[in-house]
Amino acid sequence: MLFNSLEFALFLPIVFALYWFVCNKNLQLQNTFLLVVSYFFYGWWDWRFLSLIIFSSFVDFFVGKQLGKEEEEGKRKIYLWISILINLGFLGFFKYFNFFAQSFADAFTLFGMPFEANRLNIILPVGISFYTFQTLSYTIDVYKKQLKPCNDIIVFFAFVSFFPQLVAGPIERATNLLPQFFKKRAFDYLKAKDGLRQILWGLFKKVVVADNCARIVDVIFSDPNAYGGSTLFIGALLFTFQIYCDFSGYSDIAIGTARLFGFNLMQNFAFPYFSRDIAEFWRRWHISLSTWFRDYLYIPLGGSRGGTAMKIRNTFAIFLVSGFWHGANWTFIFWGALNAFYFLPLLLTNRNRNNIGVVAEERLLPSLRDGINMFATFILAVLAWVFFRSDNLTLAFEYIGGIFSVSLFSVPTILPFLTLALIAFLCLIEWLGRAQQHALEVFLLKWPRLLRWTFYLFLILTVVQLGQKEQSFIYFQF
């Protein structure tokens, strides 16, 4: 079930009403209800893949319990590896089998031993990368004794499959989300209202901005050689906003929905395009994944301690794995590597934590220096996204080559004024709300109700009027 579908518009109020008016007396009943509706939500796509989530949940519930009982380090390690191998095994099979098979075949062909790779007709289960990482975080935290194992099977299964964030995150840590299932949830008027505002803003980002950008991006990226540099730049720029609005829009809807049910999910995007350097960008982009890799990969590898070589190795490790997580294609790996190249100079010169706070805090406009830094960081991100979007590396390099040509200074053949105006509006609202958890958190709250509602009405009208046919979210494929 897509967040931007009529089905979800019916599903949400029904589930909300049953949750607060029928199941509210009993926490166990509320949790069971959440589990059932989460499975229903997921099964709407393909009920067959429910078995995978259920199996993964069983494995990690069982492993968690064993880790809680077992004191002997060797056996604890075995349990941990059981969980890692099963979870990553599923992920590897469904997501990466064909990639590895083809890559091996290509490598052998390159060395003069051609053979045909056996590709399987595999359907990627929606959200597998997200819930796999979420359950893994639980097992690792229990293994590290940072979290007590969960003894309530309903709670654990509901934690793994919690419908607002099941399909595309945020990838919640067990330490944050799991305890919330054990607390009696009281309805919070302000939280729920804020949740609705966040859902509305997420819908605007996804349905209005991202989907309208997508129409043009698809045309330009499908035949980049047909366009001059300025049009290619427009294409890359629009994809930059498409990917942001698509994914952060999903996160906004997920977080807002969870708030309606009394849950707090972590912030997943903190206005990344207002970053002043790449390090700040990565602290603000897909925060739940970045921090996951930081805590479970980068720090165990040694983090930024040790010598220069180790720093370089660890930085590349985290960015390459992050790229590979996004998809089984060399374009994603290159995108990860490119970001590592962007990031390394900052790390090696100890300037990676220069920009921690909010840009131009308590000021309307940034300083000239901040403005230039933001612009430069943004352009680096735009260029990197070309690799993310392209079908293969050759096309990506051709695309970049096409941008940096004389025709960059010609009038673009595709100049979508409406979409650019929507992007300008988005940037304005996000800029005004950049110090908050989401753009509409305090925006207009002090205005008279009628004016505020008129603004919400305007957003709803643009969602209905400018919305394209229900489009899936990009990150569902990851």
Partner 1 sequence: MKSFLKDTLLFIAFLLTYFGLNYGINQYFIQLSSPQIEKRILIMGDSHIEASIDPTAFPSAISVAQSVEPYFISYWKLKSIMHKSKIDTLILGFSYNNLAESYDDVLHNLWCLEMFKRIYPIAELNTLKGLKIKWKEYGLRKFKNMCIAPRPNHVFYMGDFSGLDSTKNNLDAYLANVSRHFSKSDGTNFGVSSTSVEFLNKIVAFCQTNNIKLILVGTPLHEKYRENIPSNFEESYAELINTFQKKGVTIYNYSEAVFTDTDFFDVDHLNIKGAKQFTASLIRNNF
Q: Name which of 187 and 375 has its Cβ closer to partner 1.
A: 187
Q: Which is nearer to partner 1, 47 or 453 (CB)?
A: 453
Q: Binder to partner 1 among 413, 424, 460, 477 (CB under 8 A)?
A: 460
Record the tokens describing residue 396, joined without a space. 């990506």
Q: Where are the alpha helices (DSSP H) in 146-222?
A: 153-161, 163-166, 174-182, 189-203, 211-222
341 binds partner 1 (CB under 8 A): no
Residues in the chain: 478
Among the listed residues 187, 375, 404, 447, the single contact to partner 1 using CB under 8 A: 187
Give alpha helix (H) positions in 183-307.
189-203, 211-222, 229-260, 278-284, 287-293
Cis peptide leading into residue 412 (ω within 30°): no
Is 104 a residue that touches partner 1 (CB under 8 A)?
A: no
Torsion angle defined by CA atoms of residues 158, 62, 173 and 144, in that order, rounded to the nearest 10 degrees: 160
Binding residue (CB under 8 A) for partner 1 from 121, 225, 349, 465: 465
d(CA 46, CA 192): 30
**Nearest-CA neighbor of 443 among 190, 97, 80, 201?**
201
CB 90, min distance to partner 1, A: 34
3-state secondary structure of 127: coil
**CB of residue 272 vs partner 1: minimum separation in angstroms?**
31
Report in angstroms how near the CB of residue 471 gets to partner 1 at its nearest: 14
- Helix or strand holding residue 453 (H, E): helix 449-466
Listed in sequence order, the DSSP H helices in 362-434 are 368-389, 393-403, 417-432
10 touches partner 1 by CB under 8 A: no
Query: Rounded to the nearest whole angstrom, what is the least distance from the CB of residue 255 to partner 1 in the complex?
Result: 18
Virtual torsion, Cα 472, 96, 64, 74, nearest 10 deg: -160
Task: Name which position in 353, 354, 461, 477 contacts partner 1 (CB under 8 A).
Answer: 461
Residue in 18, 23, 82, 192 binding partner 1, rule: CB under 8 A:
192
Residues 397-456 that bind partner 1 (CB under 8 A): 453, 456
Total number of residues that touch partner 1 (CB under 8 A) = 14
Catalytic residue, from 206, 284, 326, 438: name it.
326
Nearest distance from residue 267's CB to partner 1, in Å?
Answer: 23
Of 65-73, 85-93, 189-197, 213-221, the window that binds partner 1 (rule: CB under 8 A) is 189-197
DSSP H helices in 265-392: 278-284, 287-293, 308-326, 330-348, 368-389
Closer residue to partner 1, CB minimum distance, 122 or 460: 460
Residue 441 gets the label, from left (phi > 0), alpha (psi -120 to 50) or beta, of alpha
- In the complex with partner 1, the residue whose CB is nearer, 120 or 464, is 464
Q: Is 286 a catalytic residue?
A: no
Candidates 464, 468, 472, 477; binder of partner 1 (CB under 8 A) is: 464
What is the DSSP track for 142-161? Answer: HHTTSSPPP--HHHHHHHHH
Binding mask 11-30 for partner 1 (x = CB under 8 A): ---------x----------
Name the site residues for partner 1 (rule: CB under 8 A). Answer: 6, 20, 187, 189, 192-193, 196, 453, 456-457, 460-461, 464-465
